[in-house]
Amino acid sequence: VNEEAKKLINGGDYDQSVIGSADHETRQLVGAELLSAIVGRSATRRDNARAAFIKHGYFDDATRDLRIADSPNERAAAARRLSFVQDREATPHLIGALGDPSPDVRRAAIEALMDLRDPAASGPLNSLMQTENDRKVPRSLIKHAIEACATAAPGEVPSDAVPSHAPEAIADPASHPIETEREVIEL
């Protein structure tokens, strides 16, 4: 598994039956290798790992775990995995997790949304600000997440998440300023 993951991450030919295996333990090992590369320093390795994470269903695994895993720790870990991948397709799933009964899961979802900086999360985060009362989920964290989402343009993605093959218009959101409405709640 390690060898095949290294080949994939380094951009070489790899055994897709290993990386895309249905075996739970194999998927855990491969997923850990992919996430390690995704948070690494090499942009090429990050891009290869991110693409494989999505192509081989690890993104779908994380969204499923976020919704239905029995343990709050597993659901929170799924939110963190989605954060590392930096794909705004995760936003609706993370917004759904804002209603999780576990404060640890809600906190992980807030942190992931803050990292994604998706303006679509501003409204749900504002709503959570009004209702959240667990001290494990501080209002200051929610406020920081709202600010992060409000300052990102709708098409903008964090700079380290822009694939190297992205067109310039996407890679440089400042070249096309976009007006956004901000929903702000006074504390």
pTM over 0.75: yes
Is residue 73 scored above 90 in pLDDT? yes
In the chain, pLDDT over 90 holds for what percent of residues?
80
- Tell which wins on pLDDT, 158 or 115: 115
pLDDT attached to residue 156: 56
pLDDT digits (tens, 9 = 90+) for 12-42: 999 999 999 999 999 999 999 999 999 999 9
pLDDT digits (tens, 9 = 90+) for 110-144: 999 999 999 999 999 999 999 999 999 999 999 99
Q: Is the dihedral of CA 48, 94, 129, 138 positive or negative?
A: negative
